[in-house]
Structure 1
Amino acid sequence: MTGYVETYYVHDFTTPKITQERPGFLYNHKRNREVNINLAFVKLAYGNRAVRSNLAVQVGTYAQYNYAAEQDLLRNILEANAGVRLSETHNLWVDAGVLTSHIGFESAISKDCWTLTRSILAENSPYFLTGAKLTYNSANGRWTLLGSVVNGWQRIRRPAGYGGPSVSTQVQFRPSGRLTLNWSSFLGSDRPDSLRQGRFFNNFYAIVSPADGRFGLILGFDIGADRKPVRNGHPNQREGTGAYIWYSPVVIARLKTTGRSYLNGRIEYYDDRHGVVVGETGTPGGFRTYGYSLGYDYAITPNALFRIEGKVYNSRDALFETAGGRSRTNTALTTSLAVSF
């Protein structure tokens, strides 16, 4: 059995004091100016050479906001899956259930990420997937190949009106212990079948970690396309030809300053001007936002991590609520204490 608790406090300098929630495109560290729990879970895991299983039950504001579309009894499920090894001679497994997403280099577990808060691309791509996956790891540890059939884009229950299923893949190559190259994809939809609005999404990243471990670099890029929807339910009446595109590049650097501490920085950009994933903004330019962050991490003990991070968002349009109206900029300071056991 293992467990994890991450408490946090965010001071958003931009939003009015009475506003208790951070901007709508965020799902982690969501509450403003209050001490809260981002994610706490207890996990039971069992495994041997032939079978494996995981069950993790969660609470916290991450679950509150990221699982809002799910049935009440399922919102507290972080993981619930079982797997069987298919080959005696090869590392080939099939797993089914609620699965941690293989898409992206960040997860909801902050201590496993290089930065305290999540990147915009991580917040707006799947943290979990529900379905069945086939995974192969090569004997030399350099290759991971994965294919899955899932209920939809970060869904436990299938979206209303969507017949599904969706499929997702991963190809990961580790030519050495210092470099990881990854391509993950999603093909399906998150809309009713009547719209005929298929989605094709790609996640690329490279992680560079020199042998001495002092400096590391992550280069990430997401790009997705949703086919333009039909109008009035008629397949020959579309809003236009082609697809709505969204994309996001990000660069994260981390420097080890002592045996217990790191400095990290991030520059990112997210362009979803048609509101496919982030949602409609009601502004002429849509959601086109830069993010900049600088953070410091200190390991109090091997299983207790204190983190602090300053972050600024700068958008093309005035998207962020202020006491006097709206602003193009949002500034916040986040602290957290995470303990694992």
Structure 2
Amino acid sequence: MQIKNWLSGLFLFSAFTSYGQEDQDTTKAKLRISAYIESYYSFDPKKPSQHQKAAFTYSHHRNNEISVNLAMVKLAYQTERVRSNLALAAGSYMNANYAAEEGIYKAIYEANVGYKISKDGDLWIDAGIMPSHIGPESAIGMDNINLTRSLAADNSPYFETGVKLSFQNSDSTWSIAVLALNGWQRIQLPEHSTGLSFGHQIQYKPTESLLINSSSYIGKEGADSLRMFHDFYIQVDFNERLRLLGLFDFAIQQRSQGLKNAKYWTAGLQAKYQINNRLHLNGRMEYFKDEQGIILAATSTALNSLYGASAGFDLRLVDNLIWRVEYRYLQANTDTFYNRDTLSERRNNTYNTAITWRF
């Protein structure tokens, strides 16, 4: 049934874009079809009987099982003044991150349309389901430094639904956006929500080798709870071989029943080193602190801090086909990981491998 919905959606989108070209300069209109597939295997030496990783993991989260993290087909249409994207997807990433959505929404990776307001300037308004404006990582693993997602990425939005007004100056050194959203990683506005959420993004790129990003989110997370979140990261290419990415996220959230406001934060450093055109090395160190259990309590009420480290390599087999290998270590302040059938481990080791292909 889901495949039928996919095909119907793609057919309708193709018909829409074909019709749109009749009223525009077809020499400038571009319709592009692309796809992405990422298959992976994650091995835990403790061999837990369940195949699900800890509840704070939302990508590559199946254990001791060959799985597909993301399989996606995308149509992108653009003219000088109009742009639109439709992407349908399946995989363990979709199952975990879209669990709160209903029906066909569970298969929509992206669905948006944009209009260029200013004929001369780069000022756009976009509406629909879009990639998140928060964080340097996305669901498309090939575009990220490391194979698995960081604790920061897995516990902040991968996607969002709303309206975005964005501007980029003539030399692309500054990009600015303001957003009105349907909550924290949601397509449909939750029933308990009392209104829209809001956000901003500012990116400064003075050179090709330096990117500085500031993003925020503010919105209701319950009847009497307000979340204020800020994401900051810097990406530096020191030369053609070495890339470093430093990240710091901080959040304050109101709590019900007159409790004191809660805070959580995360910091991380990622690195990528190119040996040659085919082989890259990568690594990551990260820390997540959530004293009041706003995010991490889904795993254990006593869990309030996590430390992680990973190391791996990427091998480009052919153009757009990459084999990735990674070792990941996680350590919690309390028993968080399974050893066979028992939740009795503070430390977790996994060995991960993936094949990614974009075409």
**1:2 is matched with which residue: 34, 45, 48?**
34
- Give 1:319 shift: 1.3
Tell me which amino acid in the other structure corresponds to 2:170. A
SS in 1 for 2:322: strand
Alignment TM-score, normalising by the size of structure 1:
0.93
Pair 1:281–1:339, CA change in 2 (3 A): closer
Deviations 1:146-193 (A, max 9, x none): 0000000000011121121000100100111111000000011222x2
- Give 1:321 shift: 1.5
- Give 1:265 shift: 0.7
The root-mean-square deviation of aligned C-alpha atoms, in Å, is 1.1
Deviations 1:21-57 (A, max 9, x none): 1111111111111111100100000001100000000
Give the match for residue 311 of structure 2: 294
Contact 1:315 1:328 in 2 (8 A): yes
Count the aligned residue pairs: 326
Give the match for residue 198 of structure 1: 226
Tell me which amino acid in the other structure corresponds to 1:60. G
What is the rounded CA distance, in whole Å, between the counterparts of 1:205 and 1:101 in structure 2?
Answer: 15
Pair 1:282–1:11, CA change in 2 (3 A): closer
Give the match for residue 354 of structure 2: 336
Pair 1:278–1:160, CA change in 2 (3 A): farther
Contact 1:14 1:320 in 2 (8 A): no
Contact 1:6 1:38 in 2 (8 A): yes
What is the rounded CA distance, in whole Å, between the counterparts of 2:247 and 2:139 in structure 1?
Answer: 17
- Equivalent positions of 1:185-334 (< 5 A) are 185-191=216-222, 193=223, 196-210=224-238, 212-229=239-256, 231=257, 238-240=258-260, 243-284=261-302, 286-323=303-340, 325-334=343-352
Pair 1:280–1:58, CA change in 2 (3 A): closer
**Identity fraction in percent:** 37
SS in 2 for 1:79: strand
Tell me which amino acid in the other structure corresponds to 2:281. L
Contact 2:56 2:299 in 1 (8 A): no
What is the rounded CA distance, in whole Å, between the counterparts of 1:203 and 1:14 in structure 2?
Answer: 34
Alignment TM-score, normalising by the size of structure 2:
0.89
SS in 2 for 1:111: helix
What is the rounded CA distance, in whole Å, between the counterparts of 2:218 and 2:94 in structure 1?
Answer: 25
Give the match for residue 180 of structure 1: 211
- Determine if the alignment matches structure 1 residue 144 to structure 2 residue 171: no
SS in 2 for 1:89: coil
What is the rounded CA distance, in whole Å, between the counterparts of 1:295 and 1:159 in structure 2?
Answer: 39
- Give 1:280 shift: 4.4
What is the rounded CA distance, in whole Å, between the counterparts of 2:339 and 2:221 in structure 1?
Answer: 32
Contact 1:294 1:309 in 2 (8 A): yes
What is the rounded CA distance, in whole Å, between the counterparts of 1:116 and 1:203 in structure 2?
Answer: 21
Contact 1:12 1:22 in 2 (8 A): no
Q: As a proportion of its length, which structure holds more helix?
A: 2
- Give 1:279 shift: 2.6
Contact 1:312 1:329 in 2 (8 A): yes
Give the match for residue 118 of structure 2: 87
